[in-house]
Amino acid sequence: MTSPASTRIIALGLVASLAGCAHVEGSRSAANETLYVARDVIGDGVFSAGIEGPAFGPDGALYAVSYGRDGTIGRVTFDSHGKGRADLFMTLPEGSTGNGIRFDADGFMYVADYTGHRILRIDPRDRSVGVFATLPGAHQPNDIAFAPNGMFYASDPDWRGATGQLWRILPHGEATLLETGMGTTNGVEVGPKGDVLYVNESVQRRVWAYDLDGGGAISGKRLLIAFSDHGLDGMRTDVRGNLYIARYGAGVVAVVSPDGRQVREVTLKGRKPTNVAFGGPDGRTVYVTLQDRGAIEAFRAEFPGRETGL
C-alpha cells in the first residue's frame, strides 16, 4: 500500500520528469489562454503589510503569513473559477512572527520565525507547533527553500547593517552557517534537479548561484544576474530551472533563465511583491503576495513550478 507521503513524492517526481517535454506540452496547453497577465485572487487589506511566504499545501490550499495581522497564518481556498477565499488558519505562539513557508513531502509545514530566530514545524492536521531548528547567532531567518534531498536552506538578512548570512538545515533539524558577510540575503531557492542553490541580496540587487553536492555543501559561487534598480524578494523555480523573482518596488515578477538572462517581466497591480509560489491543478499558476496591497495576485505561466503542492 502506498502511503500519502509516497504518493506525493511520486506526484512531484512526475512533474519534474515532464521538464524535458514541458516546452511542447506547455505551449499546446497554453494556446487558448492568456499567460503572464496578473489578476486578483485575494483583494486589498485581507492580509497585513507583513504578507509573505506563500506555499501550497498537500490539501490544495495556499498558505501565507500575516492574515489580518502579523503572527498569524492564513489559508486560501479556491472556487471553480480560481477566485480565492482567505480564512485564519492559525495564530503562531507568542513572540513568533512568520515569514517564509515551505512544506515537506510528508505534508508538514515549516515557517521561518524571524523574531524567534528559528524554524517552526507545524502539523496542519492538528495545528501543533514545534521547533524544528534553532539558528544561533541569526539576525532574522527570512525565507526558506526545501531541497529534493530533504534539506532546507534559509536566508538571514541584517537589514540595519545591509549584510546577511546563509544557513543549511539537515532533515533532522541540525543547522549549519554556510556563509556570512553577504549582502542582505532574502530570496532563496533550489533548482529542479537539486544541484544548484540560488540566493538573492535585496539591497545590493544581486542573485548568486552555488553548486550543491549530495551532502548539501555549496561551492562554485557565481553571480547569476544583477539589477540596476528596485529590490529583490522571494523567488521560485519552474521545472525548466527559470527563476521567478519578486522585484520589490518595481511591481513586477522577473523571469530569469538558468544562464542568467532576464527573459520576461510580469507586470503586477501592486508595487511591492514579497514572494511567489506555483500552484493550481496543473502547477502553472503563479501566486504573488503584495505588501502594499495586503493582497494576493496570480498569473498563468507556460511551465509548472518545481514545487506546486501536488
Q: For residues 293 and 46, what is the distance between their CA atoms, to the nearest angstrom?
A: 9
40 has a pLDDT exceeding 50? yes
**Stretch 187-214: mean pLDDT, rounded?**
97
Predicted pLDDT at 62: 98
- Split at pLDDT 50, 70, 90, the class of 82 is confident
**Confidence tier at 3 by pLDDT (50, 70, 90):** very low
User: How much is the pLDDT for 74?
Assistant: 98
**Mean pLDDT, to the nearest integer, of 174-198?**
97
CA atoms within 13 A on the CB side of 211: 3
What's the Cα-to-Cα distance from 144 to each of 65, 109, 126, 234, 300, rounded to whole Å?
A: 14, 11, 23, 9, 24
> Which among 156, 237, 248, 247 has a CA at the least distance from the CA of 198?
237
Higher pLDDT, 265 or 22: 265
Encode burial over 129-140: b for 16+ CB neighbours within 10 A, e otherwise: beebbebeebbb
Write down the residue that cell numbers 502553472 correspond to: 284
Name the percent of the chain lying above pLDDT 90: 87
For residues 106 and 3, what is the distance between their CA atoms, to the nearest angstrom? 9
* Closest CA relative to residue 237, chosen from 22, 10, 11: 22
User: 124: pLDDT confidence band, cut at 50, 70 and 90?
Assistant: very high
The CATH topology of domain 4-300 is Neuraminidase (2.120.10)
The radius of gyration of the chain from alpha carbons, rounded to an integer in Å, stands at: 18
Question: What whole-number distance in Å separates Cα of residue 54 and Cα of residue 45?
Answer: 16
Q: Categorize the per-residue pLDDT at 14 as very low, low, confident or very high, splitting at 50, 70 and 90.
A: very low
Q: Which of 30-44, 93-107, 158-172, 214-228 has the lowest mean pLDDT?
A: 30-44
The model's confidence at residue 31, banded by pLDDT at 50, 70 and 90, is: low
- Which residues are paired to 210 by β-bridges? 197
